[in-house]
Amino acid sequence: MEAAEGVSAPTPTEEMNGAGTLMDFLDEPFPDVGTYEDFHTIDWLREKSRDTDRHRKITSKSRESLWELIKSLLDAWSGWVVMLLIGLLSGTLAGVIDLAVDWMTDLKEGVCLSAFWYSHEQCCWTSNQTTFADRDKCPQWQKWAELMTGHTEGAGAYLLNYFLYILWALLFSFLAVTLVRVFAPYACGSGIPEIKTILSGFIIRGYLGKWTLLIKTVTLVLAVSSGLSLGKEGPLVHVACCCGNLFCSLFSKYSKNEGKRREVLSAAAAAGVSVAFGAPIGGVLFSLEEVSYYFPLKTLWRSFFAALVAAFTLRSINPFGNSRLVLFYVEYHTPWYMAELVPFILLGVFGGLWGALFIRANIAWCRRRKTTQLGKYPVLEVIVVTAITAVLAYPNPYTRRSTSELISELFNDCGALESSQLCDYINNPNMSRPVDDIPDRPAGPGVYNAMWQLALALIFKIVITIFTFGIKIPSGLFIPSMAVGAIAGRIVGIAVEQMAYHHHDWIIFKNWCRPGADCVTPGLYAMVGAAACLGGVTRMTVSLVVIMFELTGGLEYIVPLMAAAVTSKWVADAFGKEGIYESHIQLNGYPYLDVRDEFTHRTLATDVMRPRRNDPPLAVLTQDSTTVEDVETLIKDTDYNGFPVVVSRESERLIGFVQRRDLTLAIKNARQKQDGVVSSSVVYFTEDAPQLPASNPQPLKLRRILNLSPFTVTDHTPMETVVDIFRKLGLRQCLVTRSGRLLGIITKKDVLRHMAQMMNQDPESIMFN
Amino acid sequence: MSCRAGSWMFAAAAVIVCLLDTAVFAEAKNFEDVRCKCICPPYRNISGNIYNINVTQKDCNCLHVVDPMPVPGHDVEAYCLLCECKYEERSSNTIKVTIIIYLSVVGALLLYMLFLLLVDPLIRKHDPYTQPLHNEEDSEEMRPRADAGPARGNTVLERVEGAQQRWKKQVQEQRKTVFDRHKLLS
């Protein structure tokens, strides 16, 4: 619209008109024109042409003076500046979250007497009193029972600790849900489905606002440390996008253009994953594969930069004290063998099944929450889920600690110095060199003990995660999914290891596993399992493998990870095409036009367009015979978001398209500021209004808000093409003509409804425009 | 325009926090913040042990850290091969500052929440502002910039109050969308 206008502005006629009496107020655009209302879809084409226009203006101005030149250079650099700021802020916030979570998680069990702000590990960091047997105990760190009663052992102390653990968990989750409810309701959930929708061109005002940022950061810490089965990774993407939106408002280039803003947000999402997993490249790929809709190369480079800065910032905060960006960073050096691909693929199958089960069950539960009485008690729901989680989690040492720590332990290979139960193997007394490759050993009682505890933990995690994802506090899905996979993987890994140890003579183990060799790494199985389960739930492939690869830092494990990721995607796709995020988008009825769906039905534009056969005719404006009053009635009586403008009602030849919002604002503005505009004034969309006798009321000229290049198709265009046009160009609406005459209109919502109908779903589930 | 200024202030605050963090980090390497930890497993008749002292990265090996050496001279090499020494750094000040800032933010939010829930309704019983939103038309017009004109509110206090009222309306609307109508995020 503005582009067309930018071209026509310097023409002599316009100059003459501008100097005339008609339309002085329109020379400076009034506020809010070209913006969108809440829950509306943006028009990518219009945004793009507006940016091109703005850019052209700046370039032409920059030749005028040095100051303008500097301004244009600043403008060109502002994208990188925004990225730098996003990286710094999201890295810092991720560090704060990590540190605070570390501390608060341990607060459930005890407190550091020497300095209350230390977590258990930090408290005993410098202590010389740790012993080899009890290496995480030190006198400075006291459990609550020890502090209150002085006893460390016994049923009384256990019960008191148990009780306080539940109490703290309840307190944290209650605080989280009240803060969310009072200050920023949009801060709940994982945020990725909504961000996907926003990036595809939807407006949710306040979703990326400052309060959402603050509350999401604060409550995320509370939610994670309450011990619920949720992770911080998804919400961190939301937090990073909030940072992106915040810094967008500093530069008019981004704050005034919804399309450009989305480029920044795509890059911010990359920064979010970069700090969540310590995987900058994985973050960029995640943004590309999973979240973004429109991802030009320029955004790729910028995301790369933002992810880099974010990772660097987090690294300099060093929240885990291990010079790594995540708690569960591992380093293996042992090779894997061809035969191991079989268990890896089996883990992939498990991951796919888990993904399918989780999506089905979680969506069913969320639908129940959405439609029944259950949704009326969000606070109570959170409290109940927390109580159940805490009561069931405490007795099992593998669920009591934070999920990240659990994953970290499952990923780790058993060295000679590991003290955990999982590494309780029977050592050969003659073994003398506990270097990296310890030969396979028979499992000790601790490992068998750990096995059934892990099995219980697996069942518990599977069930509770289904009910946790979607409650009204910030909750991510990555960590619980990875935990499920890691537990399953570790169990399989130990099983394979013991099988190989006890049956050296079996034909499959003969070449691969000689006695005294280190042939199976259970930690690697845990990692493959985690990748498979995450892949089954989210249906990521490339970015998932890259994230996992960045976590291990070993190139040789790419093939197992790829095998598992692909298998889990195949298996999960067999049960349902959509990943968890798409399913939630569908459940909420967001207007998200998936680029990956294929549309293969043989319908035509004329079947989809409005008005339908028996509907009243299309509401149109004429270019020079509608009065202000007519327009106002039309706006009042209909709820359409835009109106086609035609030459006259008889000929119905199309001139352009005008947005309802712009029309409302223009008329309101003209009524206030322009003298002589009354209800009977005629609205002109032509280039110049005819000279009218003085008795007639002053005309209102609105060519400025008219989009002269609306997208049109003919009525016999196949819907396949129309859907493609909507997807690729990001249209908001498209007009349908037959031999130049306007027939109807297809909006994005119509397309979505049509697609839903074709897939035998309820078309009314698409809720927004 | 006030929105713009707010954003700048927020950004500035963020950058300051960032700088503060780095500053804290830079001066932080006090005696508590480095350690060299050696874990030595059981060897012959000697039980396993953990050594934890504060040395430079260069000296972080079994020979320097394990003191007194539990084995006779000719066994030192074998014993030290078993030990695993790790040099680690942390920043205790960053942890302290972060936790304290976090707690004060939570505290401030709780206080503000209590204020909003308990004190505020008492003060503005007769305020025309608190008229709940009756018609949808009105609530749709509550976009931040639409009525943020300089005309409203002469003093700073009034302007702050106006902004607060607008924000409250927005949150109320969000609450309706998420918790009552279940349109989003369910």
Question: What's the confidence (pLDDT) of residue A291?
Answer: 86
Q: Which of B36, B40, B44 is nearest to B82 (CA)?
A: B40
Q: Over range A141-156, report the average pLDDT.
A: 86
Q: Chain B contact for A264, CB < 8 A?
A: no
Output the six-digit token pair for A563: 């095998």
HEC readout, A277-320: HCCHHHHHHHHHHHHCCCCCHHHHHHHHHHHHHHHHHHHHHCCC
Give A333-360 pLDDT, tens digit per residue: 778 888 889 999 999 999 999 999 999 9
Q: What angle do CA A229, A234, A239 make, to 5 degrees?
A: 125
Whether A674 has its CB under 8 Å from any CB of chain B: the answer is no
Q: Which residues contact B128 (CB under 8 A, 6 or more apart)?
A: none
A126 touches chain B (CB under 8 A): yes
Domain co-membership, B105 together with B132: no
Counting residues of chain B whose pLDDT is more than 90, the rounded percentage is 10
Asked if B67 contacts B91 with a C-beta cutoff of 8 angstroms, the reply is no
A173 pLDDT exceeds 80? yes
**B139 vs A697: which has the higher pLDDT:** A697
Answer yes or no: do B151 and B100 share one domain: no
> What is the pLDDT, as a whole number, of residue B75?
80
Domain end position, chosen among B106, B122, B138: B122
Could you report the per-residue pLDDT of A460-518, keeping only the tens digit for each? 999 999 999 988 999 999 999 999 999 999 999 999 888 888 887 777 777 777 666 67
Of residues A122 and A764, more confidence is placed in A122
Task: Please indicate whether, in this complex, the C-beta atoms of A32 and B183 are within 8 angstroms of each other.
Answer: no
What is the per-residue pLDDT for A9? 36
Which residue range forms the structural domain that includes residue B78? 34-89
Are B11 and B102 part of one and the same domain? yes
A3 pLDDT more than 50: no
Least confident of A18-27, A32-41, A156-165, A598-607: A18-27
At residue B127 the predicted structure's pLDDT band, cuts being 50, 70 and 90, is low
Co-location of B101 and B140 in the same domain: no
Asked if B71 and B103 sit in the same domain, the reply is: no
Q: Is the pLDDT score of A36 beyond 90?
A: no
Mean pLDDT of chain A: 84
Whether residue B178 is found in the same domain as residue B138: yes
Q: How far is B18 from A47, CA to CA, in rounded Å?
A: 34
Backbone angles phi, psi at A354, to 5 degrees: -60, -45
B19 shares its domain with B104: yes
Q: How many Å apart are CA A154 and CA A750, to the nearest integer?
A: 67
Mean residue pLDDT across chain B = 72
| Over residues A230-239, mean pLDDT | 91
Q: What is the pLDDT of residue A12?
A: 37
Residue B67 has pLDDT above 70, yes or no: yes
* Alpha-carbon gap: A156 to the closest alpha carbon of chain B (Å): 31
Q: Determine the pLDDT at residue A8.
A: 36
- Categorize the per-residue pLDDT at B23 as very low, low, confident or very high, splitting at 50, 70 and 90: low
pLDDT per residue as tens digits for the range A58-79: 999 888 889 989 988 988 899 9
For residue A352, the model assigns a pLDDT of 95
Residue A619 has pLDDT above 90, yes or no: no
Instruction: Inform me whether the C-beta atom of residue A673 falls under 8 Å from chain B C-beta atoms.
Output: no
As a whole number of angstroms, the distance between CA B122 and CA B133 comes to 19
**Cross-chain residue pair B95–A118, CB shorter than 8 Å:** yes
Average pLDDT over residues A173-182: 92
> Cβ B52–A127 below 8 Å, yes or no?
yes
State whether residue A231 is helix, strand or coil: strand
Residue A552 has pLDDT above 70, yes or no: yes
Statement to judge: residues B43 and B76 lie in one domain: yes
pLDDT band at B45 (very low <50, low <70, confident <90, very high): confident
Residues B151 and B59 placed together within one structural domain of the fold: no
- DSSP sequence for B47-91: PPEEEEE---GGG-SHHHHS-S-SS-GGGHHHHHHH-EEEEEE--
Total domains in chain B come to 3
Higher-confidence residue: A570 or B121?
Answer: A570
CA distance A149 to A321: 33
Instruction: Supply the pTM of this predicted model.
Output: 0.87
**CB distance from B182 to chain A under 8 Å?**
yes
Percentage of chain A exceeding pLDDT 70: 91
Q: A133 and B146 in contact by Cβ < 8 A? A: no
Residue A444 φ then ψ, to 5°:
-90, 180
Task: Please determine, for residue B151, whether its predicted confidence score (pLDDT) is greater than 50.
Answer: no
Contact A519, A440 (CB under 8 A): yes
A122/B contact by beta carbon, under 8 A: yes
Nearest-10 crossing angle of helices A522-538, A341-371 = 40
Residue A248 banded pLDDT, cuts 50, 70, 90: very high
pLDDT band at A563 (very low <50, low <70, confident <90, very high): very high
Contact flag B101-A96 (C-beta cutoff 8 Å) = yes
Residues 424-443 of A with CB under 8 A from B: 432-434
Give counts: helices (H), strands (E), chain A. 30, 12
Nearest to A180 by CA among A205, A217, A208, A234: A217
Does residue A417 sit at the B interface (CB-CB below 8 Å)? Answer: yes
Q: What is the mean pLDDT of residues B12-30?
A: 54
Residue A74 distance to chain B (closest CA, Å): 17
Residue B13 class from Cβ within 10 Å (0-12 exposed, 13-18 middle, 19+ buried)?
A: exposed
Distance (Å, whole) CA B63 – CA B56? 13
* Confidence check: pLDDT of B132 > 50: no
Got the DSSP string for A571-639? HHHHH-S--HHHHHHHHHT-----SS-------BHHHHSBS-TTSPPP--EESSSEEHHHHHHHHHH--
Nearest to B50 among A132, A249, A322 (CB): A132
pLDDT tens, residue by residue, A638-659 = 888 888 888 888 888 888 888 8
pLDDT at A274 over 70: yes
Contacts of B116 in chain A (CB under 8 A): 182
pLDDT confidence of A742, banded at 50, 70, 90? Answer: confident
C-alpha span between A678 and A682 (Å, rounded) = 9
Question: What's the average model confidence in pLDDT over A275-293?
Answer: 89
Whether the pLDDT of residue A17 is over 70: the answer is no
pLDDT score of A4: 37
A246 vs A255: CA distance, rounded Å: 9
Tell me the Ramachandran region of residue A126: left when phi exceeds 0, alpha when psi lies from -120 to 50, beta otherwise. alpha
Q: How far apart are CA A268 and CA A245, in angstroms?
A: 9
Closest-approach residue (CA) in chain A for B176: A185
Selection from A117-131, A556-570, B28-42 with the highest mean pLDDT: A556-570
Instruction: Return the number of CB contacts < 8 Å for A and B.
Output: 178
* DSSP string of A139-159, one letter each residue: TTEEEHHHHHHS--SSHHHHH
Give yes or no: residues B18 and B102 share one domain. yes
Among A133-142, A304-313, A369-378, A535-544, the range scoring the smallest mean pLDDT is: A133-142
Partner A contacted by B46 (CB < 8 A): no
Yes or no: say if A631 and A670 are a contact pair by the CB < 8 Å rule: no
Give the pLDDT confidence score for residue B31 in this predicted structure. 60
In this predicted structure, the answer to whether residue A85 has a pLDDT above a threshold of 90 is: yes
Cis ω on the peptide bond leading into residue B68 (within 30° of 0)?
A: yes
Which tens digits make up the pLDDT trace of A90-107? 999 999 999 999 999 999
Q: Which two tokens stand for residue B71?
A: 């084995």
Instruction: Determine contact, residues A274/A280, Cβ cutoff 8 Å.
Output: yes
Asked if A372 contacts A152 with a C-beta cutoff of 8 angstroms, the reply is no
A671-690: per-residue pLDDT in tens? 887 777 778 888 888 877 67
Mean pLDDT of A735-746: 87
B6 at the A interface (CB within 8 A)?
A: yes
Domain match, B85 and B103 both: no
Rounded CA-CA distance A342/A348 in Å is 10
What token pair was written down for A23? 């339309």
- Please give the average per-residue pLDDT across A701-725, as a whole number: 86
How far is the C-alpha of A354 from the C-alpha of A486, rounded, in Å?
A: 12
Tell me: pLDDT of B175 over 90.
no
- Looking at per-residue pLDDT, the higher value among A39 and A481 belongs to A481
Q: Are B118 and B129 members of one domain?
A: no
